[in-house]
Amino acid sequence: MTLKPAVETVQDHALPQVQTPRNPGMPLDLDWVAGATANTSAIERRAATLPGRRSIKKEFQAAWLLKAITLIDLTTLSGDDTPARVRRLCAKARQPVRAEILKALGMGPVTTGAVCVYHDMVETAVDALKGSDIPVAAVSTGFPAGLSPLHLRIAEIEEGVKAGASEIDIVISRRHVLTGNWQALYDEMQAFRQACGQAHVKAILATGELGTLRNVARASLVCMMAGADFIKTSTGKESVNATLPVSLTMIRAIRAYHAVTGHRVGYKPAGGISKAKDALLYLALLRDELGRRWVQPDLFRFGASSLLGDIERQLEHHVTGAYSAAYRHPMG
């Protein structure tokens, strides 16, 4: 069995495999922000039709699932995290699929897109991933609520960068969105971007707490104007996390920003994406709306942990024709 033709279709070797230039941002355009709307019923209808319109089968499904693995920010954000748990997670990031499955598929090694941890575990993760190209992402700025004093949130970013994180996932102040204080959100995001230095910054909007899709669209634009390299749905701690309607809203904001500025901004859905079939829907939506260039690790990530186990289980089913128990695909 070989996935080579399907993998070549998914990877699209005609695309330049380069790191996207960082988003420099732009001056805050309040007229653009005020004009941003979201037709909730139309967005929900579009999202609801996706499962029936985009069905991927057999070797192409396996190839897309392998692609999805390379887009995962393998994550542990628990209060009981330990150095040993983080090292096991990093080992899984280095080899996310059992070697015999990859061999049966005719594939070489794959790795996840990154490892995402709390600030206190950054040094452990950096050490565990030494010698690989897997970046470490750190959640910061008073994650998940983002309600600590601003100077402490900025200091936390700086400490994360100093510890070796090359990506920083910040949380915005939701109150700025809910009160329509776009200047405050813009200034906050700019300060976070500056504190990150050379580290890429992902702005977590916590969309489940923003009230409306219109607020999601406007917050997305403001964060991109302030220099966010990625916009991300959720912390994973809200009652509602990533959804297809929210994703469609944010993806279209990214498309609009790119059309006006020429700058590409990445997208990261996080929280609640635990099944392989769901990952395929998000990839289909992204490719439909933004095109093939965005289906690369420098412009798209899944914030997930249990998703990887289900993908590995589906790949084993493709190889053997039988589903295995979840314990055969541990995180470490």
pLDDT at 322: 86
Domain architecture of the chain: domains with CATH: 26-328 (3.20.20.70)
Mean model confidence pLDDT for the chain: 93
Split at pLDDT 50, 70, 90, the class of 115 is: very high
Which has more confidence, 56 or 226? 226
- In angstroms, rounded to a whole number, what is the distance separating the alpha carbons of residues 14 and 37? 36
Q: Which token pair is 243?
A: 């959804």
| DSSP state at residue 148 | S
pLDDT per residue as tens digits for the range 242-287: 999 999 999 999 999 999 999 999 999 999 899 999 999 999 999 9
pLDDT at 324: 81
pLDDT per residue as tens digits for the range 306-317: 999 999 999 999
Whether the CB-CB separation of 93 and 74 falls below 8 Å is answered with yes
pLDDT at 13: 41
Residue tagged active-site, from 67, 92, 202, 268: 268
| DSSP state at residue 29 | -
Residues 6+ apart with CB under 8 A from 252: 217, 289
Split at pLDDT 50, 70, 90, the class of 171 is: very high
pLDDT at 14: 41
Among residues 304, 305, 299, which one has the least CA distance to residue 287?
299
Residue 237 known to be catalytic: no
- In angstroms, rounded to a whole number, what is the distance separating the alpha carbons of residues 164 and 126? 6
Whether the CB-CB separation of 309 and 275 falls below 8 Å is answered with no
Report DSSP letters for 80-142, one per residue. Answer: T--HHHHHHHHHHHHS-S-HHHHHHHT------SEEEEEGGGHHHHHHHTTTS---EEEE-SS
Residue tagged active-site, from 73, 169, 298, 310: 169
- In angstroms, rounded to a whole number, what is the distance separating the alpha carbons of residues 210 and 213? 8
Which has more confidence, 323 or 121? 121
Residue 168 bridge partners (DSSP): 138, 201
What's the rounded mean pLDDT across residues 102-115? 95
Taking the whole predicted model, whether its pTM rises above 0.85 is answered as yes
Residue 202 known to be catalytic: no
- In angstroms, rounded to a whole number, what is the distance separating the alpha carbons of residues 129 and 117? 13
- In angstroms, rounded to a whole number, what is the distance separating the alpha carbons of residues 97 and 319? 13
Residue tagged active-site, from 73, 92, 232, 278: 232
Residue 169 known to be catalytic: yes
Q: Is the pLDDT of residue 16 over 80?
A: no
pLDDT at 57: 80
pLDDT at 23: 98
Split at pLDDT 50, 70, 90, the class of 1 is: low
pLDDT at 168: 98
pLDDT at 113: 97
pLDDT per residue as tens digits for the range 196-208: 999 999 999 999 9
Dihedral of CA atoms 12, 131, 76, 143 in degrees, nearest 10, equals: -90
Burial of 24 (0-12, 13-18, 19+ CB in 10 A): exposed
pLDDT at 18: 62
pLDDT per residue as tens digits for the range 37-74: 999 999 999 999 988 776 778 899 999 999 999 999 99
| DSSP state at residue 315 | H
Alpha helices in 168-274 (DSSP H): 174-178, 182-196, 213-225, 244-261
What's the rounded mean pLDDT across residues 159-179? 98
